[in-house]
Amino acid sequence: MDLNIRGKVAVVTASSRGLGKATAEALAAEGVNLAICSRDEAAINRTAGAIKEKYQVEVLAEVCDVKDRSGIENFKDKVIRHFSTCHILFANAGGPAPGKVEQFSEEDFREALDLNLFSAINLVTAFLPFMKQQKWGRILASTSISVKQPIPTLALSNVSRAGVVAFIKSLSREIASLNVTANTLAPGFIMTERVENLLENQAENQGITYDEALANIIDTIPAKRIAAPEDFGALCAFLASEWASYITGETILIDGGMYRGLM
């Protein structure tokens, strides 16, 4: 199926690897030009080079820490100077450190909010005006299955992501009539460096091997596997497509059936 977004411009943040990179690749495969960023210059340039070579699209790669509002402003200026507009935004960031509620200070919670909530707010603030003006836009924000079912060992993530859902849901109603959709993605377990690190952490805390920690997680997933980043990228590309124009204000799980609730 042609997703009908060839030639559009997508901003995909935190995209040198993992879910951001997979989303950038899935969009590039549809002929979408990209502005990508992460904190490590060599890593983001490597990713940009690989995508350009494979998909023959334009890729602007910048260093940007999405925790930093002025960094986002600076990134936006470069994107607009280069592409003049933005049609698709995937507001993505790294994940906060694992741990339980009582392990963390107020400062830790504030940092997690900067990383996962305020980055999304600041990215939307930067790029939404262009979508409104052209009456076409797709906003996607990364969260986690934890917005439906908090994960006991990820207190910072549980707290910081709930606000993203409230932000995107509130926003979606304000902009729907302008043909701009806004949705949140809620992945369960998708095999990236982040998940590898979390498994290493669980193995260490529980005195088990990495493979045992992996088997324990897979046991909780009805699909009996951890997804590949490409599974996530394909979902994002569809939600960014012309065909997803009537899907907005949703939190979409991609979890192999792991969430146990009804709604």
Ligand X SMILES: NC(=O)c1ccc[n+]([C@@H]2O[C@H](COP(=O)([O-])OP(=O)(O)OC[C@H]3O[C@@H](n4cnc5c(N)ncnc54)[C@H](OP(=O)(O)O)[C@@H]3O)[C@@H](O)[C@H]2O)c1
Q: Which residues of this chain interact with ligand X, rule CB under 6 A? A: 14-20, 38-40, 43, 64-67, 92-95, 115, 142, 144, 157, 187, 189-190, 192-195
Q: Note whether 48 and 22 are within 8 A (CB).
A: no
Comparing CB distances to ligand X, the nearer of 20 and 136 is: 20
Residue identified by tokens 């400062």 is: 107
Q: Which residues pair with 38 in a beta bridge?
A: 63
Question: Smallest distance from the beta carbon of 208 to ligand X, in angstroms?
Answer: 20
**Smallest separation (angstroms) from ligand X to the CB of 37:** 6
At 165, list the tokens.
Answer: 């859902």
Judged by beta carbon, residue 134 or residue 216, the one nearer ligand X is 216
DSSP per-residue letters across 105-168: -HHHHHHHIIIIIIHHHHHHHHHHHHHHHHT-EEEEEE--GGGTS--TTBHHHHHHHHHHHHHH
Q: How far is the CB of 177 from ligand X (least distance, A)?
A: 30
- 151 vs 156: CA distance, rounded Å: 10
Minimum distance from residue 237 beta carbon to ligand X (Å): 16
Identify which of residues 169 and 194 has a Cβ nearer to ligand X in the complex: 194
Q: Which is nearer to ligand X, 136 or 183 (CB)?
A: 183
What's the closest the beta carbon of residue 101 comes to ligand X, in angstroms?
17
Q: CB atoms < 10 A from the CB of 212, how many?
A: 13
When the beta carbons of 18 and 137 are compared against ligand X, the nearer one is: 18
